């Protein structure tokens, strides 16, 4: 007879005989956390503050809206990377090292092709994307050339994510961390130099930020390629990038794993794009408030994002060994640690929201509005933590279609119509309407979390297998 959810959760946290210990989990977590800080938050927050120094609310809002859009695009690269993690992780867990190498080659070239298509579409579709957003003309004029330059860097982002997926699949989280650190340092140097015209560089303002991101992506791509090709410890995998696709079955398995992940990550990340669409008619200051609140909450969610990567690589390797109790115990421990971390950060940020937001609003045009908005929507952030961790675990168990259909149906069938309906309410209380629109996202996350729990408490999630030609 199964225990109730709470009893099972508490037992799992205390379990020392199954899964990894807290110290071992944290040894995987810290490199991933540093990576998440660098990839999703720190450089973006510093970049936003430097753009805020230009004292143009239009430029700041344009940066925020564009970063939201590109975040959803990067999630496509992440989806392909997760497919690589799951495939290489399960094969590595079974000790089939040569098949790991074959899987990496196929994943690499598949990702390169997808990245080229996405980058090209962004470059030539920049104007139409901003027009769809219904942005003010001033933001469109700033945004189109900015997005075209950023589109070039997106291609290289896809390439290095393919390589990082392989590293994570073999439980190497430290090398990706080092690559991201180098990329972050280079970005911050060129970002400051090109925005303000320091160190002999031209002062390019918002465009300087775009060029700096391209430099960062190119360098990270080169470093990842060099590491995989020249590291003698990886020679056992026999990775030869300039060979042709090695196996149609391997490519098909990658697609079966990656496409659902791409769709589920895109569905959730495009929810933020949809929020921007719903809020756009309310004006530039509302969009700027949305941007800063989103960035602060993304900062608070960094521990959960890092733990989600950890649970994926742990589950994928344990799945190859059929260690079912270890998988469940690791999930419970990671949900516990990520919840404590995220809620602590949100609480501290909610104590002084005005002081924090002022760092991004030198003219004081949206600080009061955003400071009232942030604590109200942060109350529901726990639901995002729960669904992030459980989604990562299900991906590691190759249950990618479960995550895909759950996110797609909840986002398209529940969140999108509900948030659109709320945004159309005719009321003079703009702040209340913004909070209600934003809260629709977290309510959707709560529904996802409940569906994932139901999946794990059944037995069908154990029946997925990975196949690659010998």
Please write the tens of the pLDDT for every residue from 250-280. 667 667 777 777 787 788 888 888 988 898 8
* Paired tokens of 169: 């699949």
Mean pLDDT of 77-93: 77
DSSP string for residues in 295-342: HHHHHHTHHHHHHHHHHHHHHHHHHHTT-HHHHHHHHHHHHHHHHHHH
Q: Of residues 381 and 299, which shows the higher confidence score?
A: 299
What's the pTM?
0.73
Q: Token pair 């700096």 is at which residue? A: 212
Q: What's the rounded Cα separation, in Å, for the pair 315 and 400?
A: 13
3-class state of residue 54 by DSSP: coil
**How confident is residue 448, by pLDDT bands cut at 50, 70 and 90?**
very high
Q: Which helix (H) or strand (E) holds 18?
A: none
Say which residues have a Cβ less than 8 Å from residue 327's Cβ, sequence separation at least 6.
19, 314, 315, 318, 319, 393, 396, 397
Give the chain's mean pLDDT.
Answer: 84
Q: What's the rounded Cα separation, in Å, for the pair 397 and 48?
A: 37
Question: Do 301 and 343 meet the contact criterion of CB atoms below 8 Å apart?
Answer: no
> Which of 24, 72, 90, 38 minimizes the C-alpha distance to 306?
38
pLDDT of 35:
78
Q: What's the rounded Cα separation, in Å, for the pair 167 and 88?
A: 9
Mean pLDDT of 74-81: 82
pLDDT of 202:
94
pLDDT at residue 244 tops 70: no
Q: What's the rounded Cα separation, in Å, for the pair 85 and 83?
A: 5
């Amino acid at each position: 007879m199964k225990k109730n959810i709470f009893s099972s959760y508490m037992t799992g946290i205390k379990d020392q005989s199954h899964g990894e210990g807290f110290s071992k989990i944290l040894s995987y977590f810290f490199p991933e956390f540093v990576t998440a800080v660098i990839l999703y938050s720190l450089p973006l927050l510093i970049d936003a503050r430097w753009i805020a120094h230009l004292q143009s609310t239009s430029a700041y809002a344009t940066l925020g809206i564009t970063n939201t859009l590109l975040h959803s695009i990067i999630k496509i690269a992440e989806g392909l990377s997760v497919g690589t993690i799951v495939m290489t992780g399960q094969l590595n867990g079974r000790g089939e090292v040569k098949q790991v190498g074959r899987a990496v080659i196929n994943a690499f070239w598949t990702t390169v092709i997808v990245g080229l298509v996405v980058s090209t579409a962004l470059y030539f579709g920049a104007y139409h994307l901003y027009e769809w957003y219904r942005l003010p003309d001033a933001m469109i004029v700033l945004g189109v050339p900015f997005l075209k330059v950023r589109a070039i860097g997106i291609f290289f982002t896809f390439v290095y994510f393919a390589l990082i997926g392989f590293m994570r699949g073999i439980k190497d989280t430290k090398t990706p961390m080092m690559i991201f650190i180098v990329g972050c340092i280079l970005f911050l140097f060129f970002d400051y130099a090109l925005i303000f015209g320091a160190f002999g560089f031209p002062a390019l303002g918002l465009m300087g930020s775009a060029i700096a991101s391209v430099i960062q992506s190119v360098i990270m791509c080169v470093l990842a390629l060099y590491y995989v090709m020249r590291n003698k410890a990886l020679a056992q995998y026999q990775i030869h990038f300039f060979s042709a696709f090695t196996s149609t079955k391997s490519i098909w398995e990658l697609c079966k794993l990656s496409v659902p992940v791409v769709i589920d990550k895109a569905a959730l990340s495009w929810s933020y794009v949809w929020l921007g669409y719903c809020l756009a008619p309310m004006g530039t200051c509302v969009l700027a408030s949305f941007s800063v609140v989103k960035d602060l909450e993304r900062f608070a969610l960094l521990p959960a994002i890092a733990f989600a990567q950890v649970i994926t690589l742990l589950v994928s390797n344990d799945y190859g060994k059929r260690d079912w109790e270890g998988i469940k115990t690791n999930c419970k421990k990671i949900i516990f640690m990520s919840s404590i971390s995220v809620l602590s950060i949100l609480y501290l940020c909610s104590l002084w929201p005005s002081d924090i937001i002022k760092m991004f609003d030198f003219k004081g045009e949206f600080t009061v509005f955003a400071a009232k908005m942030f604590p109200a929507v942060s109350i529901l952030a726990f639901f995002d933590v729960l669904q992030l961790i459980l989604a990562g675990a299900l991906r590691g168990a190759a249950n990618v279609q479960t995550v895909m259909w759950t996110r797609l149906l909840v986002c398209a069938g529940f969140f999108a119509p509900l948030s659109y309906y709320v945004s159309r309410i005719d009321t003079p209380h703009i702040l209340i309407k913004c909070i209600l629109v934003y809260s629709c996202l977290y309510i959707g996350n709560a529904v996802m979390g409940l569906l994932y729990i139901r999946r794990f408490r059944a037995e069908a999630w154990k029946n997925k297998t990975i196949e690659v030609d010998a």
